[in-house]
Amino acid sequence: MEELKDLSKLCIHTITTKPWNIEESARNFSKAGVKGITVWRDALDGRNIKQTGQLLREHDLTIVSLCRGGFFAHKELNKRKAAIDDNKRAIEEAAELGTSMIVLVCGADPAQSLEESRKQIHDGIAALIPDASAAGVKLTIEPLHPMYADARSAINTLSQANDMAEALHSEWVGVAVDVYHLWWDPSLETEIKRCGENRNLAAFHICDWKNPTADLLLDRGLMGEGCIPVKKIRSWVEAAGFNGFNEVEIFSNTYWNMDQSEFLNKIIKAYKENS
């Protein structure tokens, strides 16, 4: 596989450097030569979204996606309806911001079966396709690690995400491959190939799985720090035709407690050496 010689495909999620507000992230990412940013919706709180998008572009940052929509699965109909409305707002926000993709954390309701949650996810995404098409925003299904099947996502393998994207069969629906969620899966290479062949491979997220991992949510590692074969998985993703950004998405109390400029240096080093 090719080495990552420069930062032209490096994208960082705003949540990765959570202690910085979006203006600080934009300034610091840009100064360091980072070329992409994925914006979490909380980073836009209290801001004019169009102007924020303009600011990011002025820093020469491609806005890779808005993170995150989804959470379609609820036992109660009114909550499912509210989720659709919220996703419509997210589509509007993405369009205002000037990005062509929303990442979906699809949801799961522990009060009902996973099968039922999956049906509601399918129906939720289907209901949004007209809005997504009108806004030019792709809805990207991110399968989540099985440890989040209780309340975050009933889509827990790339096979399931592929099934759903193929069933929905729309150019406005895609799939995100996140190494943290999928690295353990013996069918990963096959499913990445399938995802590419069906033109659904829309995003690639990287970080690492630390051993030991201290927290189910907030202890992700930098690439190279754990046991995920990030380079190998990137080679599979690229062999499947993906040529978009490599997005660094890390939730970590350890790193959030660190000086964020120092952390950014570590991200760039880990990106060059271990991604």
In the complex, which residues of this chain contact a second copy (CB under 8 A)?
Answer: 110-111, 113-114, 145-147, 149-151, 156-157, 160, 183-186, 209-213, 215-216, 226-227, 229
- Least distance to a second copy, CB of residue 219, Å: 9
SS3 246: strand
CA distances from 125 to 3, 38, 243 (A): 36, 21, 25
Answer positive or negative: Cα dihedral of 156, 113, 132, 98. Answer: negative
- Least distance to a second copy, CB of residue 193, Å: 17
Contact 108, 146 (CB under 8 A): no
Structure tokens at 70: 């989804």
The residue among 53 and 226 lying less far from a second copy, judged by its C-beta, is 226
Angle CA 260–266–271, to nearest 5? 125
- Least distance to a second copy, CB of residue 151, Å: 5
Angle CA 197–88–38, to nearest 5? 60
Query: Can you spell out the DSSP letters for 120-187?
Result: HHHHHHHHHHHHHHHHT-EEEE----GGGTTTTBS--SHHHHHHHHHHH--TTEEEEEEHHHHTT-TT
The residue among 91 and 108 lying less far from a second copy, judged by its C-beta, is 108
- Least distance to a second copy, CB of residue 161, Å: 12
The residue among 59 and 79 lying less far from a second copy, judged by its C-beta, is 79
- Least distance to a second copy, CB of residue 94, Å: 29
The residue among 137 and 144 lying less far from a second copy, judged by its C-beta, is 144
Contact 226, 211 (CB under 8 A): yes
The residue among 46 and 186 lying less far from a second copy, judged by its C-beta, is 186
The residue among 94 and 222 lying less far from a second copy, judged by its C-beta, is 222
- Least distance to a second copy, CB of residue 17, Å: 25
